[in-house]
Amino acid sequence: MKIKEGFKGEQSIVLPQAIIRMMREDPLASSIYITDIGYYPKAYHHYRSRTRAIDQNVFIYCVDGKGWYELNGKHYSVSAYQYFILPEGIPHTYAADETEPWTIYWIHFCGTLAKHYAAGCITPQDVTPSMASRINARINLFEEIFNTLHSSFAIENIRYAMATFCHYLASLRYLQQYREADPSSGQQSDIVRLVIHYFEENLERHLTMQELTAYSGYSASRLSALFKERTGHSPLNYFNLMRIRKACDLLDNTSLRLNQISLKLGIDDPYYFSRLFSHIMGLSPKAYRQRLKA
């Protein structure tokens, strides 16, 4: 296994050829299997041009920022909440936007069913947040795949990761069914609950009051008053509390470095992240993690 880091906060795994051969020959894994997987936050100057076609499908899911790609002589623009799949056997080029670089989850995959999952996804596909969306749950699925492959290449780990990958792809290809499978998706809720759900779906992004007013249809003053009444916090303060709660989970349960955790919470400046964490938790992120060793 090769884990590499190029972009700040990057995580990626390139599976060894011996493991790829094993998956290709395995009756369970051979239907769809991963060869490379990764996460690039704020991928400045990310650029890839393949003039020679590769025998892998390339899946890219943009959760923040912007980018573009070219395929079959056509140019496509990509923004947050969109994904696309570049089919195997076709030369292509893709890159992050120069001023607002994308944050992406990406996977290279093959298998006897791969072309069926890739079909129809050459153009950007929308995954727009709504009360029924489950974007955060899907990100958790990706991390489960990544962590399973990171921990071991035992055959049972490989099979579990590939089965989970099928679920992950299905959550995108059958978006409405995935959303409706959550029993809480159809529940009516008030505006505060709607915005809190929006927070949950956007923990990896930097949100502004302008975005929240556009999403909710409420003025900044009215939304702030409702939040203060219901939660005791302003909307953005409440969002920061949710981000730090997520940071605590990552500090407790992963080996991610502090700058990686900061970027996963949409905070570019690790020093600001440390100050925010210390203000809310009463101790630094480093001290919080080290408490478990005491």
- The tens digit of pLDDT for each residue in 13-47 reads 999 999 999 999 999 999 999 999 999 999 999 99
Domain that holds residue 101: 2-180
Flag whether 78 is in a domain: yes
Burial readout 166-177 (b: 16 or more C-beta within 10 A, e: otherwise): eebbebbbebee
Look at residue 189 and tell me whether its pLDDT is greater than 70. Answer: no
33-40 and 82-86 strand pairing: unpaired
Flag whether 55 is in a domain: yes
What's the average model confidence in pLDDT over 43-68? 94
Asked if residue 133 and residue 87 are part of one domain, the reply reads: yes
What does the block give as tokens for 129? Answer: 């947040």
The number of domains in the chain is 2
Looking at 160, 180, 200, the residue that finishes a domain is 180
Percent of the chain with pLDDT over 90: 67
Asked if residue 221 and residue 169 are part of one domain, the reply reads: no
Asked if residue 46 and residue 164 are part of one domain, the reply reads: yes
Flag whether 53 is in a domain: yes
CATH number of the domain that 201 lies in?
1.10.10.60
Asked if residue 203 and residue 91 are part of one domain, the reply reads: no
Asked if residue 146 and residue 49 are part of one domain, the reply reads: yes
Asked if residue 101 and residue 19 are part of one domain, the reply reads: yes
Structure confidence by residue, pLDDT tens digits, 194-207: 899 899 889 988 89
Looking at 161, 180, 199, the residue that finishes a domain is 180
Flag whether 185 is in a domain: no
Mean pLDDT of all residues in the chain?
89
Flag whether 49 is in a domain: yes
pLDDT score for 13: 92
pLDDT score for 184: 62
Look at residue 1 and tell me whether its pLDDT is greater than 50. Answer: no
Look at residue 123 and tell me whether its pLDDT is greater than 90. Answer: yes
CATH number of the domain that 155 lies in?
2.60.120.10
Task: Report the half-sphere exposure of 221 (CA within 13 A, side-chain side).
Answer: 0
pLDDT band at 2 (very low <50, low <70, confident <90, very high): very low
- Residue 285: C-alpha distances to residues 83, 132, 141, 200, 278 (Å): 33, 33, 25, 21, 7
Looking at 159, 180, 201, the residue that finishes a domain is 180
- pTM for this prediction: 0.77
Asked if residue 205 and residue 175 are part of one domain, the reply reads: no
Asked if residue 212 and residue 171 are part of one domain, the reply reads: no
Asked if residue 234 and residue 108 are part of one domain, the reply reads: no
